[in-house]
A and B are shown apart, each in its own frame.
Chain A
Amino acid sequence: MPHIGDKQPVSQPVSEPVPRPVSLGTVTLTVNGEVHELIVEPQWTLQYVLHDKLGLIGTKEFCGEGACGACTVILEGRPVLSCLMLAIECDGKNIETIEGIARANHPLIEAYIKHSCMQCGFCTPGFVVTAKALLDRNPDPSIEEIKEAMVGNLCRCGTYPAHIRAIEEAAAILRGVLVAQGGEGRD
C-alpha cells in the first residue's frame, strides 16, 4: 500500500491570484465510471445525493453518524462513510458504489450469495463495498486482516462468520487460484 509520506507536497504557484474560495453548488462526480454533473446544497451528504438524487439505492443510511458502515462507498480508493461526507466536497472525485461493483461482476457478489452472508440484507452493500476496498489494496488478506478491515461494519442479524469465508473465497478467485462457480454476471 502506498504511503502518503512518500508523496511530495504539491507546491502552490505564488504569483497566481487567489480565486474567491466559494464552493459553487455545481459538482462533478464520477460514480462507477459515469460522470454526473449536479447542483447540490451544501448540507447534502454524499449518501443523500447517491441514494435520493442518483437513485443508487444500494448505499443505505442507517445510523447516520458513522457507527455502522451501511453507507460505505469507495472514494478515491478509500472506504468511507457517505453519511458523514458532504457531497459538495466530492467535486471531481471518483466514487464506487455497490452498483458499480455488482455491474463489474466482482467475485465478492457470487461469494456473498454462495455463503449466505445476509439475512435481512440491509447491511450487505456496506460490507461488500468495504471488502472490495480491502481486496483492491490487499489481494491476499489473512483472516486477521479481514477482521480488522471489516470491524466498522455492523450486522444486526449477526452474519459475521459468513463474511470471512466469502471474502477469502473472492480473494482466491481474484488471484486466480480458484475458479468462480456459476458466475453468470448480472447486467
Chain B
Amino acid sequence: MKKFKHLTVRTVEEATSVLAEHGKSARVIAGGTDLLGELKDSILRDDDYPEVLVNIKEIPGLEHITAQDGGLRVGALTRLEDVATHPLVREKYPALAEAAKRTASPHIREMGTVAGNLCQNNRCWYYWVPDNLFDCLRKGGRACYAVTGDARYHSIFGAARVETTACSRACPNHIDIAPYLADIRRGELTTAARTLLRSNPLPAITGRVCPHWCEQECARGEFDQAVAVRAVERFLGDHVLDRAAEFYLAPAAESGKRVAVVGSGPAGLSAAYYLRQAGHAVMVFERMPEVGGMLAYGIPPYRLPREILKRQVEAIAGTGVEFTTGVEVDAEKFGALERDFDAVFVAGGASKQTDVGVSGEECLLSGTEFLHQVYERPESMAGKVVGVIGGGNTAIDVARTLLRLGAKPIIYYRRTKDEMPALDEEIAKAEEEGVVFQFLTQPVAAGVAGAGGAAGPIELTCCRMELGEPDESGRPRPVRVEGSEFSVSCDVVIKAIVERPDYSFLPPEFVDQRGRLRIDPETGRLADKVFAGGDFVTGPATVAEAIAAGKQAAAAIDGHLRGGRAEESREAAPVCVLGESFSAACMLPFERVEVPELPVEERVGALDREEVGTLDTSSVTREAERCFNCGCVAVNSSDLAPVLVALGGRIKTTEREIGAEEFFTVGVNTSTVLRPGELVLGVEIPEPAPSTKSSFLKFALRKSIDFPIVNVAAAITCEDGAVSSARICLNSVFGVPLRVAGAEQYLVGKVIDEPTAEAAADASMEGTVPLLNNRYKIQIARTLVKRAILACAP
C-alpha cells in the first residue's frame, strides 16, 4: 500500500470537519474490507489515491440496532454479522437478516459495516486492475472492455452513462455524440438533429471539413474501426439544411439587446447563432463580398461546396441574424460599434501574411491570397510548375487546388511527412492525386530568372535539411546541410505558411507591448463589452475550434448582457439511467460504412466537384448501430442494497435523508450520490404492514465469500389473499439496484401462485440487453424473482 496519513476521529462533527478540510484527498475508512482491498491492489488513478484516511470506527453511537416508531434503525457502523443475528431483525425484517447473513464470509461480516456495504465500490475486473490497463471509462479511460470482452458478471440491462465519452472529450465542441446516435438508432432523426444543433450550429460544414478528432479517439477504433461520426454528422447537417425553416428558428422572446459580430467565419457564425438563440439582435459585419470567412475563401470548394455554405448562412439568417458584407471594420468603425451596440464580438480570423524568411520574398504569392483569387476567378494553370512552401493544411489545399487547375504542384517542406501539421487524411489524398513532395527541403532564396521581367519563371534556391534535436514544439528541429544548395525553376511560387491575426483596428490598450491581445482566457473578454475568439485569438486553428470559441463567447456575452452572471448552463451530473443502451450488433465486429467518394481521375477534373458524398438514411442507421454508446456495464454488488430498496428504507447522512433508490443513483466514480465529505449515519426502515412478507435470495458461485451473480429482495403485501402492493428489487444486474416495475405492476390484484409468479418473473426481464457471455444471468434473475415472490405468499 502507498503511504497515507491516518486520522482517527471521535465525533461526527470532527469527521465532517476533517473531511471538509481535506476535500477529495480524504476517504472514510470503516471496516476497511472494501477500501483496503482497493488500496492494496492499487486500482485507483494516481489523482484518486487518498492522502488521508479518516477512521470513523471510534465514533460512539453509530453502532446500534434499535426499534423506533415501529420501524428499525441501524447505525452506520453496525457490523453485518450483528445485523444477521439480531433477534428483532430476524423476526420482523427477515429479508434484511438473510441478506446480511449471505454477505461475504463470516470474517468479513464481523468487520464490514452496514454503511461500508452500501458504499462499496464496483467489482468490475477490468476496473480492478492497476494502472488502468484496460483503459476503463470509469477511471477516465477510453473504452469499456466489458462490452466486447468477457463480461459474465456484468450488466444485463445496458450501460450507465459516464461523464464523457472518448469521442465527445476529443471534440473541441464536446458534441454529445452518443445520444444523437442513439436517437438515430431509434429512428428519431428530428431528435437527433436537435441534439446535434445544441452543440454545433454548422453540422453540414463540420460534417465535411472537420478533422474528426472524435473518430481518432473513438473506443471502437481499437476494436475494429472507429464509428464514422463525421459522415453521420454530415448526414444530419444536410437533413437540417433541407428543413432549415423547421430547425433554425427565431428565439421565442427578444431581449432587446444588440450585439455586433466582426467577421463571418465559423467563430462569428457560431456566436451569432447562439446569441440570436438567446434572444439578442445580432448584426454580423464582413469585409469580403461573401459571408463565411475561411469557409468561403480558405477551404476549397471540392471539400465544401459553396452552395452548402450559402444555405447554411441563409439558415442562420433565417433566425433573424443580419449580415452586412463589404464592410471593413477599421479603428473608427470599431469605435462606432462599441458605442452603438450592447456588446461586440471580434472574430476577425487570421489572414495577415507573414514572411517565410526567403530572400526575394516579393516574388512569392501568399497562399490565402492565391485561394481568394482562384475562388473568385478560376483560371486554368495548365502545365505550370508551381512551388508550394509549407506543410500545413493551407499548403495541401493550395496544392490540391492547383492540381484541379491543371498545374503541377510541388510541396517544399523542411521536415519530413511525419512532422507535417496537415491532416494525414489530406496528405494521403494529395499524394494519391499526384502532388509531388520534397521533404527536408527549405527554400532560401527566390528571384526572377533570366530577362523575362516580373512575369518570367522564378528560380528558387533550396537547401536540404536534416532533423536535429527537438525544439519547443517537441518536433525535431530541421538543420541545414552545409553545401546542399540547389535551384529549381518554377512558374509560380506560393508560400502557404502561418498567417496572423490583424489587430491594427483595435484600440491600442487591447494589445500589449509584444503585440498580444490582453484577453481573459476564461471568458474571451477584451474590455467591458468587447469579446474576441476563434483564429483571431488563437492563430490559425480549425473550424470546430472556432465554433467552440464562438459558442463560449456567446455564453459569456449573454451572461454579460443579463447582468454580469454567466448563464448556469451546466447539465445535470451524469447518472446511471436505464435505456442508455446499445444495439446488440455493436458487440461483434461490424464493418464501418463506406463513405461514397469520387475516384481520383474524376476528383481532380474540376475545382467545385465535391469529392465525398452524403450517406443515405439506411447507411446512417446502420452506422449508428456500431456505436457502443460508451457507458459502464459494471454492476452494484451490494447484498444489502436491494433489501433497503424493497423495504422502502431511507439512508440518513450528515446532510440529509435519502430514499434508498435515489441513494444508489451513481455518479461516475462513486457508487452513491454522497457528496464529498458527506457521511452515512445510519439506515431507517419503516415498519412493515402486518400482512407484508419479505424475502431475499442470492445466487453466487460459492455460498460463502463470493459476490452475488444476481440477488433479489421482495416485499409483498397481500390483502384478502391478493397482492395489494409489491416492491421487488434485483441487484448485480445493472449499475444500480433495479426495481422491476413490470413484475410489481403485474402482481397487483393477483393471488400469488406458481403461474402468477412465473408471469411476473417474465415481466421483470423486459428490457434486458445481455452482453456477449452473460445471457445466463437473465435465466438466473428470472428464477430468483419467481422464487422471491413465491416466498412472500401469505
Contacts and interface: CB of A to CB of B under 8 A. Distances in A.
Given A80-B111, A151-B705, A5 B37 contact: no
Contacts of B110: 78-80
B106 A152 contact: yes
Q: Counting chain B CB atoms within 10 Å of each CB, which of A9, A64, A86 scores highest?
A: A86
Contacts of A130: 106-107
Contacts of A18: 10-11, 13-14
A81 interface: yes
Contact of A84 (B11, B65, B111): B111
Question: What range describes how many residues of B lie at the interface?
Answer: 35 or more
Interface string A40-71: 01110100000000000000000011110100
B41 interface: yes
B25 to A, nearest CB: 14
B703 A151 contact: yes
Given A21-B8, A42-B3, A86-B6, A5 B88 contact: yes
Contacts of B250: none
A151 B704 contact: yes
B607 to A, nearest CB: 67
B107 A79 contact: yes
Contact of A1 (B6, B85, B108): B85
A42 B111 contact: no
Given A1-B85, A11-B61, A21-B18, A85 B41 contact: no
Interface string B37-61: 1011100000000000101010011
Contact of B105 (A9, A42, A152): A152
Contacts of B639: none
Interface in B267-287: none
Nearest to A68: B705
Contacts of A88: 6, 8
Contact of B82 (A3, A85, A89): A3
A130 to B, nearest CB: 7
Given A5-B86, A151-B703, A86 B11 contact: no
A84 B38 CA distance: 11
Contacts of A65: 37, 40-41
Contacts of B78: 4
Interface in B81-131: 81-82, 85-88, 104-108, 110-111
B115 to A, nearest CB: 15
A4 B11 contact: no
Interface residues of A, number: 40
B461 to A, nearest CB: 67
Contacts of B704: 151-152
A84 B32 contact: yes
Contacts of B53: 42, 86
Contacts of A72: 107
A69 B109 CA distance: 12
B8 A149 contact: no
Contacts of A79: 106-107, 110
A66 B33 contact: yes
A144 interface: no
B514 interface: no
Contacts of B55: 23, 86, 89
Contacts of B8: 21, 23, 88-89, 91
B239 interface: no
B108 A21 contact: no
Interface in A73-87: 78-81, 84-86
A84 B61 contact: no
Point out which of B11, B32, B60, B87 has the most chain A C-beta atoms below 10 A from its C-beta. Answer: B32
A21 B10 contact: yes
A175 B123 CA distance: 44
12 contacts: A4-B79, A21-B7, A23-B8, A42-B5, A64-B40, A66-B105, A66-B108, A78-B81, A79-B110, A84-B37, A86-B55, A149-B106
